[in-house]
């Protein structure tokens, strides 16, 4: 049995030979961190390449737009705004180029160090991304000039400073506008309150006026009934007088009694009308007394300041005549007459010896002027 096993081994010399067995190299899977890192770096290179291309195209487009605006004779303000946009785009290109160079070097080093991943799709995509990025990275433009970059950085800092100032100014103007709006709202509230008070006062005056009109109407009705009572009583008195003249017979006592009864009734009605008349007059007097002082003040204002004398050629004569009328009523020294009045406040008394141009208006015989 042992010999049989030995022949079997010798019959197949390469079956159990360790040297002829193939080496076991497992293929990398998606869980391999190297593949994930390779995918991330490839995505960064692609994104930065695309971003740099987009900014370069935007720079060219913005330059063409500015040239068209200059050719069309656009406003300087519009041109400055477009130039600011151009400067910002031009500043982004060098930045993208620096970040792309850094990402390009990192991906290149990783590809060199991970050659065993050459058969994977991630490795192939990374090589293709490097080829595309190499073309974009090696593209020489005037934006890579350090002098121009420094100039654009200074422009951008100046623009940022200007924008900060504009933000502070807008905030200050906004606060000022809010304060003005608050003041305006406060004034509107005061005006609305004054209007409400005036409207309420007007309604109260209308109510008082309606009450006065109603009282006046009722008083007129009382006067009418009072006149009716007096008229009937006068008729009754004429009937009695007529009967006395014609020597009324003794058989007419019933008629006399009826006449007496009617007279009593109408006399009572007349007394009632008199009481109502007195009551209504008191009510109207109390209502009218509220505005009495105001009416008196208004009458004096109209009497003293109501009419404005027009400026004419004879204004001087009018002034002299009014002055003469006032001076004629002045209180003299030692004179306590009731017809005289005191000098008005602020009135300028004439001098004892007037100027020559006023001599022709001097009247010695009236008021001692």
User: 3-class DSSP state for residue 247?
Assistant: coil
CA 227 to chain centroid: 65
The first and second tokens of residue 81, run together, are: 């705004």
Consecutive H or E run containing 267: helix 253-289
Distance in angstroms (rounded) separating the CA atoms of residues 110 and 157: 37
User: 3-class DSSP state for residue 330?
Assistant: strand
Which residues share a beta bridge with 239? none
- State the pLDDT at residue 177: 95
Distance in angstroms (rounded) separating the CA atoms of residues 277 and 230: 14
308: left (phi over 0), alpha (psi -120 to 50) or beta: beta
Close Cβ partners of 348 (under 8 Å, ≥ 6 residues apart): none
End-to-end CA distance of the chain: 178
- State the pLDDT at residue 300: 78
Distance in angstroms (rounded) separating the CA atoms of residues 328 and 235: 60
Q: DSSP states of 173-211 as a string?
A: HHHHHHHHHHHHHHHHHHHHHHHHHHHHHHHHHHHHHHH
- State the pLDDT at residue 308: 53
Distance in angstroms (rounded) separating the CA atoms of residues 162 and 150: 18
Tens of pLDDT along the chain (369 residues)? 334 434 344 444 443 443 444 444 445 555 567 667 767 777 777 777 777 778 778 888 888 888 888 888 878 888 888 888 887 777 777 777 777 777 777 777 777 766 666 666 666 776 777 666 666 655 545 455 677 667 777 887 888 898 899 999 999 999 999 999 999 999 999 999 999 998 998 898 888 788 888 888 888 888 888 898 888 888 888 888 887 777 655 446 666 778 888 888 888 888 998 888 888 888 777 766 666 766 777 777 777 776 655 555 566 777 778 777 777 766 555 555 555 566 666 666 777 777 777 777 766 654 444
Distance in angstroms (rounded) separating the CA atoms of residues 189 and 328: 55
Close Cβ partners of 320 (under 8 Å, ≥ 6 residues apart): 361
């Amino acid at each position: 049995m042992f010999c049989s096993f030995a022949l079997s081994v010798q019959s197949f010399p390469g079956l159990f030979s360790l040297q002829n067995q193939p080496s076991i190299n497992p293929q990398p899977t998606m869980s391999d961190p190297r593949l994930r890192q390779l995918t991330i770096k490839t995505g960064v290179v692609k994104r930065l390449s695309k971003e740099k291309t987009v900014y370069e195209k935007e720079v060219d487009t913005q330059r063409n737009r500015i040239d068209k605006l200059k050719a069309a004779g656009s406003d300087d303000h519009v041109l400055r705004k477009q130039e600011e946009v151009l400067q910002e785009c031009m500043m982004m290109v060098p930045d993208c180029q620096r970040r792309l160079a850094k990402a390009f070097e990192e991906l290149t080093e990783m590809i060199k160090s991970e050659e065993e991943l050459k058969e994977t799709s991630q490795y192939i995509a990374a090589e293709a991304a490097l080829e595309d990025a190499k073309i974009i990275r090696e593209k020489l433009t005037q934006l890579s000039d350090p002098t121009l970059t420094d100039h654009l950085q200074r422009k951008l800092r100046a623009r940022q400073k200007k924008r900060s100032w504009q933000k502070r100014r807008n905030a200050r103007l906004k606060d000022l506008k809010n304060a003005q709006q608050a003041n305006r709202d406060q004034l509107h509230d005061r005006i609305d309150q004054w209007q409400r008070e005036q409207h309420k006062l007007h309604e109260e005056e209308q109510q008082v006026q309606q009450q006065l009109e109603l009282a006046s109407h009722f008083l007129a009705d009382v006067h009418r009934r009072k006149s009716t009572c007096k008229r009937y009583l006068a008729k009754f008195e004429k009937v009695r007088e007529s009967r006395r003249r014609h020597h009324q017979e003794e058989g007419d006592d019933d008629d006399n009694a009826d006449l007496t009864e009617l007279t009593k009734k109408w006399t009572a009605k007349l007394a009632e009308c008199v009481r109502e008349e007195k009551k209504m007059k008191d009510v109207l007097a109390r209502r009218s007394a509220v505005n009495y002082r105001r009416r008196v003040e208004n009458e004096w204002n109209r009497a003293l300041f109501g009419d404005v004398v027009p400026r004419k050629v004879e204004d001087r004569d009018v002034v002299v005549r009014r002055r003469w009328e006032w001076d004629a009523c002045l209180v003299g020294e030692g004179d306590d007459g009731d017809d005289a009045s005191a000098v008005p406040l602020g009135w300028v008394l004439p001098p004892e010896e007037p100027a020559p141009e006023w001599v022709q208006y001097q009247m010695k015989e009236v008021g001692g002027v």
